[in-house]
């Protein structure tokens, strides 16, 4: 197997995901037992992580129920040795709790720094070591396999290295499967990780060491990359980087970095990452930032037109971090910096081909929306195209040239309106039951002064593109009856009243075309009499 840098794979790194234990320590996050089971199934069966840590022993009855659900399912599926529970040096309590829960792997929490041991437990190393040995022996007697956490190991290596090394030396002589080295406070930098792990892995080459990173300095991914290159055989992660304070090393980023920047392999099914990430987002109630690597909404979206143009010509802005790897697709955003290239990419997806002048007008419309800081989505594009094409087919002899609207509590809305009819300007004021009603009353005053009649409004609809994902505009569709001729006009804008006014402006121009057509005795441009026409 070859990675993104062309290096052959030598061995696999174990991924132990602790979303269900350490991830649940995120402020405000608590998974239901049924949610825990679904997450466990997806992590082990779909994503295929090597191990999962699902709970802390003795926390609550709900925690016990959740672990029982998971261990029952895992036992049936042959995954029980992949399900781990954090426990404490409290013989026999944590081990008995695990036996009751049906679990088989204990992650024993010990003190990895002399500072924690002295000031929190108020014990000597000799007493702590003896209690650890007793707990491991009891677990072995109850059929429980043991891994050992060295809590605050990073501070231990900084400030009490002799103690930390003596702890590892002591554990190496006990029936311990893995020694787990947490950067509990997320305080290490890559240079320290390289120094500490390099020293430990050199002195204990036959031991399996896991590295557990926190992200307080935003260095968790960099530290993990350094850890695997320095001898760590296992890495702890959480989906979406959940965890206490700034969170843990995010699984999605860790997978991409190990795959692309090391010669180590993984058992992970990358294409399942996004699906599981979105499920955890729903269960946790914590939204994924739009710019979060791998799983964020925007990370595979090109916005700049020059990037879309480069991709169109020869995938010039592609990298090994392809969206398809993670079950996603590349998108080309629509906004004021998009340019024609982004729009063309989206049009190809929709199977639409526009003339150059039409494409220019669609581009200009999107730029206008972008200048208003409106978000345009792919779902919006057909609406914008429809509006542009309809505008092209109507002569703008009549223009709503200016307006001032007032809407305040306790008073009727009012509008001051100026309309340009051919080359003349007309102004009127009116108040009504709403802003659009006020607008129509002012417009009727202008037309009445000119002895002109307006068609009857028979239907009025406001909507957004299907899916309700846009915040860029609404569409207003108004149905009119002009002496029995039924036709519709549409308006698009970020404000629904303005959208309605634009639809009305189209109507004013259409009725002028109808009158001119009747005067010259041309064929009815709207089809058969009384046929419904949409503009």
Residue 108 neighbours by CB under 8 Å, 6+ apart: 87, 88, 89, 94, 132, 135, 136, 139, 146, 147, 148, 149
The predicted pLDDT at position 528 comes to 38
Q: How far apart are CA 474 and CA 472, in angstroms?
A: 7
Integer Cα distance of 391 and 388 in angstroms: 5
Distance, in Å, from the CA atom of 483 to the CA atom of 448, rounded to the nearest integer, reads 17
What's the pLDDT band for 531 if we cut at 50, 70, 90?
A: very low
Question: Per-residue DSSP letters for 265-333?
Answer: B----GGGHHHHHHHHHHHH-PPPPTT-TTTSTTTTEE-SHHHHHHHHHH-TT--S--GGGGT---EE-
Contacts of 355 (CB under 8 A, 6+ apart): none
Q: What is the predicted pLDDT for the residue at 350?
A: 56
Whether residue 368 sits in one domain with residue 325? yes
Q: Residues 165-183: what's their mean pLDDT?
A: 98
DSSP bridge partners of 414: 406, 431
User: Is residue 529 one of the residues assigned to a domain?
Assistant: no
Are 458 and 503 in the same domain?
yes
527 within a domain of the structure (yes/no): no
Provide the CATH number for the domain around residue 412.
3.30.160.340
Residues 103, 75 contacting (CB under 8 angstroms): no
What percent of the chain is predicted at pLDDT more than 90? 60
Overall number of domains in the chain: 3
**pLDDT at residue 358 in the model:** 76
Do 53 and 163 lie in a common domain? yes
Strand partners, 463: 475
Judge whether 198 lies within some domain: yes
Known catalytic membership, residue 151: yes
Same domain, 478 and 512: yes
β-strands 105-111, 145-151: how paired?
A: parallel
What pLDDT score does 527 carry? 41
Angle between helices 339-350 and 305-314 (to 10 degrees): 60
Report which of 514, 509, 507 is spatially closest to residue 534, judged by C-alpha positions: 507
Is residue 402 domain-shared with residue 382, that is, in the same domain? no
Question: What pLDDT, on a 0 to 100 scale, did the predictor assign at position 182?
Answer: 98
- CB atoms inside a 10 Å sphere around CB 291: 9
Of 105-109, 230-234, 340-344, the poorest mean pLDDT is in: 340-344
Average of per-residue pLDDT values in the chain: 85
User: What residues contact residue 94 under an 8 Å CB cut-off, 6+ apart?
Assistant: 57, 58, 87, 88, 106, 108, 135
What pLDDT is attached to residue 363?
74
Q: Which of 117, 120, 145, 141 is nearest to 130 (CA)?
A: 117
Same domain, 464 and 494: yes
Does 492 lie in the same domain as 359? no
Lowest mean pLDDT among 30-39, 284-293, 357-366: 357-366
Provide the pLDDT for residue 495.
86
Assigned token pair, 416: 């001051």
pLDDT in tens, 341-357: 566 666 665 556 667 77
Residue 227 lies in a domain: yes
Indicate the pLDDT class of residue 208, thresholds 50, 70 and 90. Answer: very high
Cα gap 436→457, rounded to integer Å = 12
Which of these three, 391, 422, 443, is where a domain ends?
A: 391
pLDDT of 303 over the 70 cut: no
472 close to 374: Cβ distance less than 8 angstroms: yes
Identify the residue whose tokens are 């760590």.
Answer: 232
Per the domain annotation, does 39 fall within a domain? yes
Beta strand residue intervals within 294-370, DSSP E: 301-302, 331-332
- Do 188 and 335 lie in one domain? The reply is no
Q: Does 448 map to a domain?
A: yes
Predicted local confidence at residue 494, as pLDDT: 78
Could you identify the residue written with the tokens 């109630």? 285
Between CA 310 and CA 432 the distance in angstroms is: 53
What pLDDT shows up at residue 341?
59
Higher per-residue pLDDT: 282 or 195: 195
pLDDT of residue 126: 97
Task: Specify whether 216 is located in the same domain as 68.
Answer: yes
- Distances in Å between the Cα of 498 and the Cα atoms of 251, 357, 370, 439 are 47, 25, 17, 10
Domain at 259, CATH number:
3.20.20.70
Domain-embedded: residue 290? no
pLDDT digits (tens, 9 = 90+) for 141-161: 999 999 999 999 999 999 999
Q: Which domain holds residue 229?
A: 11-284
Q: Please tell me the pTM assigned to this model.
A: 0.68
Domain end residue (candidates: 284, 310, 329): 284
Distance CA 23, CA 238 (A): 6
Let me know: does 189 contact 197? Beta carbons within 8 Å: no
Same domain, 407 and 360: no
Choice among 21, 325, 328, 485 that is catalytic: 21
**Per-residue model confidence (pLDDT) at position 23:** 95
Same domain, yes or no, for 132 and 273? yes
Q: What pLDDT band is residue 491 in, cutting at 50, 70 and 90?
A: confident
Does the pLDDT at position 194 exceed 90?
Answer: yes
Q: Convert the pLDDT of each residue in 418-437 to its tens digit.
A: 999 998 999 999 999 899 99
- Please state the rounded mean pLDDT for residues 236-254: 97
- pLDDT value, residue 5: 43
Residue 450: count of CB within 10 angstroms of its CB: 10
> Among 22-31, 135-144, 321-330, which stretch is predicted with the lowest mean pLDDT?
321-330
Indicate whether 161 and 31 sit together in one domain. Answer: yes
2 pLDDT tier (thresholds 50, 70, 90): very low
DSSP state of 325: G
**Which pLDDT tens digit goes with each residue over 447-485?**
999 999 899 999 999 887 654 455 557 888 899 999 888
| CA distance to 38, 86, 101, 108, 252, per residue, from 41 (Å) | 5, 19, 17, 24, 17
Residue 409 binned pLDDT confidence (cut-offs 50, 70, 90):
confident
Mean pLDDT in residue range 43-60 = 95
Q: Of 391 and 171, which is predicted with more confidence?
A: 171
Q: Give 137's contacts (C-beta < 8 A, 6+ positions apart).
A: none
Distance (Å, whole) CA 488 – CA 438: 21
Which of 349, 372, 391 terminates a domain? The answer is 391
Q: What is the pLDDT of residue 535?
A: 47
**Residue with structure tokens 């990675």?**
3
* Amino acid 352: pLDDT: 61
* From 24, 53, 84, 151, the catalytic residue: 151
Q: How far is residue 65's CA from residue 59's CA, in Å, rounded to a whole number?
A: 11
Mean pLDDT of 70-80: 97
Examine residue 293 and state whether it is found in any structural domain, yes or no.
Answer: no
221: nearest Cα among 200, 236, 199, 201: 236
Is-catalytic flag, 53?
Answer: no
Share of the chain above pLDDT 70, in %: 81
> Per residue in 260-276, pLDDT tens?
999 999 999 999 998 89
């Amino acid at each position: 197997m070859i990675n993104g840098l062309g290096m052959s794979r030598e061995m696999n790194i174990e991924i132990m995901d602790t979303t269900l234990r350490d991830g649940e320590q995120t402020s405000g996050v608590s998974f239901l037992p049924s949610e825990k089971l679904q997450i466990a199934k997806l992590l082990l069966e779909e994503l295929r992580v090597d191990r999962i840590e699902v709970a802390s022993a003795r926390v609550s009855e709900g925690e016990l129920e959740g672990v029982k659900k998971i261990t029952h399912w895992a036992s049936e599926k042959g995954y029980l040795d992949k399900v781990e529970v954090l426990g404490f040096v409290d013989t026999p309590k944590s081990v008995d709790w695990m036996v009751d829960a049906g679990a088989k792997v204990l992650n024993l929490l010990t003190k990895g720094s002399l500072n924690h041991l002295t000031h929190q437990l108020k014990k000597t190393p000799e007493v702590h070591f003896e209690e650890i040995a007793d707990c491991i022996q009891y677990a072995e007697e109850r059929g429980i396999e043991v891994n050992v956490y060295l809590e605050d190991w990073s501070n231990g290596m900084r400030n009490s290295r002799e103690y930390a090394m003596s702890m590892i030396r002591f554990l190496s002589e006990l029936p311990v499967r893995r020694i787990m080295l947490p950067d509990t406070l997320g305080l290490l930098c890559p240079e320290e990780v390289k120094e500490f792990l390099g020293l430990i892995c050199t002195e204990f080459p036959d031991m399996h060491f896991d590295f557990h990173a926190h992200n307080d300095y935003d260095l968790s991914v960099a530290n993990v990359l350094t850890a695997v290159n320095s001898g760590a055989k296992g890495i702890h992660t959480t989906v979406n980087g959940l965890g206490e304070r700034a969170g843990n090393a995010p699984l999605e980023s860790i997978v991409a970095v190990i795959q692309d920047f090391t010669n180590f392999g993984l058992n992970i099914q990358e294409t399942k990452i996004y699906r599981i990430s979105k499920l955890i987002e729903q269960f946790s109630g914590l939204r994924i930032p739009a710019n979060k690597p791998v799983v964020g909404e925007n990370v595979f979206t090109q916005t700049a037109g020059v990037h879309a143009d480069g991709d169109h010509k020869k995938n010039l802005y592609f990298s090994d971090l392809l969206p398809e790897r993670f079950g996603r697709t590349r998108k080309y955003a629509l906004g004021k910096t998009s340019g024609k290239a982004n729009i063309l990419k989206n049009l190809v997806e929709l199977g639409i081909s526009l003339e150059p002048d039409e494409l220019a007008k669609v581009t200009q419309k999107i730029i206008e929306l972008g200048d208003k800081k409106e978000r345009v989505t792919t779902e919006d594009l057909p609406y914008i195209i429809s509006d542009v094409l309809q505008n092209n087919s109507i002569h703008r002899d009549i223009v709503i040239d200016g307006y001032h609207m007032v809407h305040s509590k306790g008073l009727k809305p009012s509008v001051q309106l100026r309309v340009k009819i051919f080359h003349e300007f007309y102004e009127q004021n009116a108040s009504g039951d709403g802003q659009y009603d006020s607008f129509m009353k002012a417009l009727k005053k202008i037309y009445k002064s000119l002895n002109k009649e307006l068609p009857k409004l028979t239907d009025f609809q406001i909507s957004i593109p299907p899916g309700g994902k846009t915040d860029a505009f609404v569409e207003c569709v108004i149905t009119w009856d002009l002496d029995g001729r039924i036709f519709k006009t549409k308006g698009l804008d970020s404000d629904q009243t303005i959208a309605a006014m634009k639809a009305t402006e189209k109507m004013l121009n259409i009725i002028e075309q109808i009158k001119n057509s009747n005067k010259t005795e041309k064929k009815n441009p709207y089809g058969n009499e009384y046929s419904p026409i949409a503009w």
